[in-house]
Structure 1
Amino acid sequence: MSSESERYSAAVEDYLKVIYAFEEREGGKITTTRLAERLGVSASSVSGMVRKLSALDLLEHPRYGTIEFTETGRQVALGVVRRHRLIELYLVTELGYGWDEVHDEAEVLEHAVSDQLLERIADRLGNPRVDPHGDPIPSKEGRLEPWKARRLSTVPPGTVGEFVRVDDVDPGMLRHLTAEGIQLGARLEVMERAPYGGSYLVRIGESPRDVTRQLGPALVNAMWVGVPD
């Protein structure tokens, strides 16, 4: 991973982090058009930044092709992701933040925290593997342990799995999960789905204390489960 002397601007790091998140969650490469949609900016603005990142040897973007990391770019992205996720976990475990409150705080602090402070945080937390939302935390060397999960919306009815991860960009969604008593580690079973893109009927927890809830498509798509191969 890059050292502090090799840190880039917040704008550069944010772009790399978004590209990494897309690759991590969607399992594919990203185009300038899709990146513009994800960031809510114009395609011309994205194209200009991608050219800049390519000139810095952080990205590769052949004409009309998809955006890909260079080895340097991937290590920089992993460094930003590590800082973000460790800060989120520290805010929750040590400062009493809710999991719905930490994303925006970490967005700011990830660009300011020193490497020394970050490693003190990691040591304090016991070098954790995941953040409060179940997102895997890269190691100091930029490695990720093998990790498998699927979006709950992609598993067929009757599938049972453990709730291991949730997309964290919508604080309201996280608050809704909290209000419903749905936490990471819960046993989830998709029972059925209403037709025409309707809600999902999901059993939550272990018998005899399990409950059944109707969950909307957007919420179910944000929830990840570990299921047997």
Structure 2
Amino acid sequence: MYSQAEENYLKTIYALESEYGNEVSTNLIAGKIKTKASSVTDMLKKLAVKELVVYKKYQGVYLTELGRLSALKVIRKHRLWECFLVQKLQFNWDEVHEIAEQLEHVKSEVLINKLDAFLRFPKLDPHGDPIPDAQGRMMLNKTKTITDMRIGSAGVFVGVKDSSATFLKYLNKKNLALGDKIRVIDIEPFDNSYHIETKTHRLVITSNVAENLCLKNVK
């Protein structure tokens, strides 16, 4: 068993590796979790002793296989709890992240496996992110963002890159939800904003918003 702080570091390193590739820097981790680089270094040394990471001073850090599987277990719990909160307790998708951050540190694997079965083994969380199974395997979620699309192309809105409550509340205001079919109508040359339409309405979104909307089955 690992402490809550250790699990948070493993999850953070996993996310940064996924975004930037192997060997992430101490400063990158410090920026992500908003702490001092010296504190990060101290924790990385502890994780290295437990063979969860390989840490080289001034060269960065990467997860060992044990560290990767441990990170995926935390991610699995987080995303299953998000499913439970939305599906069974009727929370909105913008309300569940902070609660799941607390619940993800529950140690009982029996409980989590029963939760998975109770939810009928979901493959995706409420934000469209894949959920690892008990062995750390998860479905490959091949998607494109709207910024990858041409005028006239369309796809199904299946996930977000930014799952912050602020961004999800913005999408609620714009009446955009997972499962919507989105078509690109036009791209504004002046500011690269995107004119899009769904089944029910048309709207204009910034390029920053477009970069955070993930679609599949794009044609």
Alignment TM-score, normalising by the size of structure 2: 0.89
Is 1:36 aligned with 2:30? yes
Residues 23 and 190 of structure 1: is their aligned pair in 2 closer, same or farther, counting only changes over 3 Å? farther
2-structure distance, mates of 1:55, 1:196? 53
2-structure distance, mates of 1:106, 1:47? 27
Aligned residue number for residue 4 of structure 1? none
Code of the aligned partner of 2:142: K
Which of 146, 151, 154 lines up with 1:152 in the alignment?
146
Code of the aligned partner of 2:154: V
Residues 38 and 222 of structure 1: is their aligned pair in 2 closer, same or farther, counting only changes over 3 Å? same
Residues 52 and 154 of structure 1: is their aligned pair in 2 closer, same or farther, counting only changes over 3 Å? farther
Aligned residue number for residue 44 of structure 2? 50
Residues 40 and 57 of structure 1: is their aligned pair in 2 closer, same or farther, counting only changes over 3 Å? same
2-structure distance, mates of 1:176, 1:166? 12
How far off is 1:228 after superposition? Answer: 4.9
Aligned residue number for residue 214 of structure 2? 224
1-structure distance, mates of 2:86, 2:173? 17
Is 1:105 aligned with 2:99? yes
Aligned residue number for residue 79 of structure 2? 85
**Aligned residues of 1:130 and 1:136 also touching (Cα < 8 A):** yes
2-structure distance, mates of 1:67, 1:189? 41
Is 1:59 aligned with 2:53? yes
**Aligned residues of 1:193 and 1:200 also touching (Cα < 8 A):** yes
How far off is 1:120 after superposition? Answer: 1.5
Residues 124 and 33 of structure 1: is their aligned pair in 2 closer, same or farther, counting only changes over 3 Å? same
How far off is 1:190 after superposition? Answer: 3.0
**Structure 1: 5+ residue runs without aligned partners?**
1-6
Aligned residue number for residue 187 of structure 1? 181
How far off is 1:126 after superposition? Answer: 0.5
1-structure distance, mates of 2:70, 2:157? 29
Percentage identity across paired residues of the two chains: 36
Deviations 1:79-137 (A, max 9, x none): 00000000000011011111011000000111125212211211111011001001100
**Aligned residues of 1:87 and 1:109 also touching (Cα < 8 A):** yes
Which of 189, 204, 208 lines up with 2:198 in the alignment?
204
Code of the aligned partner of 2:216: G
Is 1:142 aligned with 2:132? no
Is 1:120 aligned with 2:114? yes
**Aligned residues of 1:165 and 1:184 also touching (Cα < 8 A):** yes
Paired residues, number:
218
How far off is 1:162 after superposition? Answer: 1.5
How far off is 1:198 after superposition? Answer: 4.5
Code of the aligned partner of 1:98: N
**Aligned residues of 2:153 and 2:218 also touching (Cα < 8 A):** no
**Structure 2: 5+ residue runs without aligned partners?**
none
2-structure distance, mates of 1:192, 1:13? 44
Residues 42 and 151 of structure 1: is their aligned pair in 2 closer, same or farther, counting only changes over 3 Å? farther
**Aligned residues of 2:157 and 2:213 also touching (Cα < 8 A):** yes
SS of the equivalent of 1:34 reads: helix
Aligned residue number for residue 157 of structure 2? 163
**Aligned residues of 2:156 and 2:218 also touching (Cα < 8 A):** no
Q: Report the RMSD for the aligned CA atoms in angstroms.
A: 2.1
